[in-house]
Amino acid sequence: MAIMAQSPDILGERHSGQDVRTQNDTRALLPVPLRSLQILMSCQAVANIVKSSLGPVGLDKMLVDDIGDVTITNDGATILKMLEVEHPAAKVLVELAELQDREVGDGTTSVVIVAAELLKRGNELVRNKIHPTSIISGYRLAMREACKYVEEKLAVKVEKLGKDSLVNCAKTSMSSKLIAADSDFFANLVVDAVQGVKTTNAKGEVKYPIKGINILKAHGKSAKDSYLLNGYALNTGRAAQGMPTRVSPARIACLDFNLQKTKMQMGVQVLVTDPRELEKIRQREADITKERIEKLLKAGANVVLTTKGIDDMALKYFVGAGAIAVRRVRKEDLRHVAKASGATVVTTFADMEGEETFDPSFLGYADEVVEEKIADDDVILVKGTKNTSAVSLILRGANDYMLDEIDRSLHDAICIVKRTLESNTVVAGGGAVEAALSVYLEYLATTLGSREQLAIAEFAEALLIIPKVLAVNAAKDATELVAMLRAYHHASQTKADKQHLSSMGLDLLKGTIRNNLEAGVIEPAMSKVKIIQFATEAAITILRIDDMIKLAKEDENGED
């Protein structure tokens, strides 16, 4: 139903009631990066795009953008970020994947699939004359109960499982990625990297600032030749060959301005009558830079990092002083080095009196700064920093696509290990949590005498989408496997002697059911809780919509 808006002030179309929900559910304009395919779909379509990439046997997507750049990935957040989703309801799901990526780091595909399924089932209930308000309150109740059940009954403390649990969490996160075959090797690398940046703050809390892990990609060799370096690596070399390759101990100056020859400002005019004066102006321009560099060296700096350029003429002063100067450092890298070494990023030499000074307190400290060769590139390593420790992962691989996907996979695994260390609780993977919650919520629904009963029962059914999709992607009989899984979880929740069955999940390689806690297929409990919370909120956001008004543009002459 599309009608012209009645008000003379509003020009456009208005869709109301059931129409708008159905449209939200089935149609969204997705000019997929392959521009020719402009297909009309929506939330279901968004979920269907990422559905086949879920699980240890999920498939990858190849995304080609309008200038022909290729990305090959099965990371939900990356896929959805690259799609140009135009339908407003479908955009909610794209933002949902980004939120999950920011908050937890992994589980982006799962959260979109669950949200779309909740939406689909909620829509069915609306068609059956259940009011959206009843559905929303039912979903909210189910979400709270589900999160409570995960934390009280399904979560296991990491201490019980030992250090292996961290490696297993990383391996579970990588199992669906390109590097699944080498997950043993990479999981240990990731755990070492995260534990390498461990810090304790003033309150005595242990934190893992994973931004201190720098990932450098270098072509050549195989993926298993990747390694961990103790120190922050900058993907650039010294500015001149005459500089030393190693400075110890290092006093680091972080600058965010040019050390090139000072030029006259735009709009400044100087009238010169005597040609000899011209040479003096040139000389003074060169001297200003020289004085700045001398101020740096006088303050004790022996490593100078700048985001801008350094004049070739000025490099001789650093060479003479035996200091390392690095130009064109990325701002992000500069901030990390400054934070780790305790330096202050300086944007100007000017002080309150209008003079140019450089205070030694702006310098950062590190045990040593050294230049090393990795593949064909020179890399500056900052080792033994004063404040937080920093480590770098050097990734090797055959080509750009592979290196980018390894980078994304390791980012997810690093986030998961951090979450596991900070929350200290894990749950079994492979559909175990979803099946347990489905059985629990189904029983809970039957105990309620209110309208929410139907919504909670649908919520319970919707959660089963995860084990179903996992089984379908693994080319197994989803109906049979999910039925067996539910039977195990029903027994674990109703029989006192069968409680150990609560960790039963899918073994997708053999097509059977197994105890995933013992098999080492585990995820942080926080990841599951966030998936349920975010997916429910997103579904509710879209279910609340019953009117969509699309405003038409006014004509040039103000006529409609």
In a domain, 183, yes or no: no
pLDDT band at 485 (very low <50, low <70, confident <90, very high): very high
Cα–Cα distance measured from residue 437 to residue 145, given in angstroms and rounded to the nearest whole number = 9
> Both tokens of residue 542?
């879209």
Q: What is the pairing mode between strands 156-157 and 324-326?
A: unpaired
Judge whether residue 543 has pLDDT over 80.
yes
Judge whether residue 512 has pLDDT over 70.
yes
In a domain, 267, yes or no: yes
Compute how many other C-beta atoms are within 10 angstroms of the C-beta atom of residue 244. 16
3-class secondary structure per residue, 265-289: CCCCCCCCCCHHHHHHHHHHHHHHH
pLDDT of residue 535: 94
Judge whether residue 1 has pLDDT over 80.
no
pLDDT of residue 242: 84
Judge whether residue 25 has pLDDT over 70.
no
| 176, 355 Cβ separation under 8 angstroms | no
Query: What's the mean per-residue pLDDT of the chain?
Result: 83
Helix, strand or coil, per DSSP, at residue 69: coil
pLDDT of residue 27: 41
In a domain, 399, yes or no: no
pLDDT of residue 486: 92
In a domain, 480, yes or no: no
pLDDT of residue 15: 61
Of the ranges 133-147, 269-283, 299-313, 329-343, which one carries the lowest mean pLDDT score? 269-283
- Burial of residue 200 (CB within 10 Å: 0-12, 13-18, 19+) is exposed
Angle of the 88-103 helix axis to the 43-51 helix axis, nearest 10: 40
Compute how many other C-beta atoms are within 10 angstroms of the C-beta atom of residue 387. 15
pLDDT digits (tens, 9 = 90+) for 213-250: 888 888 888 888 888 888 788 888 888 888 888 888 88
pLDDT band at 136 (very low <50, low <70, confident <90, very high): very high
> Both tokens of residue 200?
């304790």
Distances (CA, A) of 384 to 51, 301, 327, 340, 534: 44, 17, 22, 9, 40
Number of domains making up the chain:
1
pLDDT of residue 112: 92
Provide the edge-to-edge strand list for the sheet that holds 547-551.
3-4, 12-16, 547-551
CATH number of the domain enclosing 309: 3.50.7.10
In a domain, 535, yes or no: no
In a domain, 494, yes or no: no
Quote helix, strand, coil % in the chain, to nearest 5: 50, 20, 30
In a domain, 117, yes or no: no
pLDDT of residue 39: 25
pLDDT band at 29 (very low <50, low <70, confident <90, very high): very low
What residues are annotated to the active site? Answer: 75, 108-109, 412
pLDDT band at 35 (very low <50, low <70, confident <90, very high): very low
Nearest alpha-carbon partner for 457 in 487, 437, 478, 475: 437
| 230, 391 Cβ separation under 8 angstroms | yes
Nearest alpha-carbon partner for 427 in 146, 206, 184, 193: 146
pLDDT of residue 17: 60
| 552, 24 Cβ separation under 8 angstroms | no
Find the domain containing 304 and state its range.
232-388
In a domain, 254, yes or no: yes
∠ at Cα 544 (542, 547), nearest 5°?
90
Cα–Cα distance measured from residue 417 to residue 420, given in angstroms and rounded to the nearest whole number = 5
pLDDT digits (tens, 9 = 90+) for 408-440: 999 999 999 998 888 889 999 889 999 999 999
178-182 LR contacts (CB < 8 Å, sep 24+): 178/60, 178/74, 178/402, 178/405, 178/406, 178/409, 179/223, 179/405, 179/406, 179/409, 179/410, 180/56, 182/223, 182/224
pLDDT digits (tens, 9 = 90+) for 174-193: 888 888 888 889 999 999 88
pLDDT of residue 244: 86
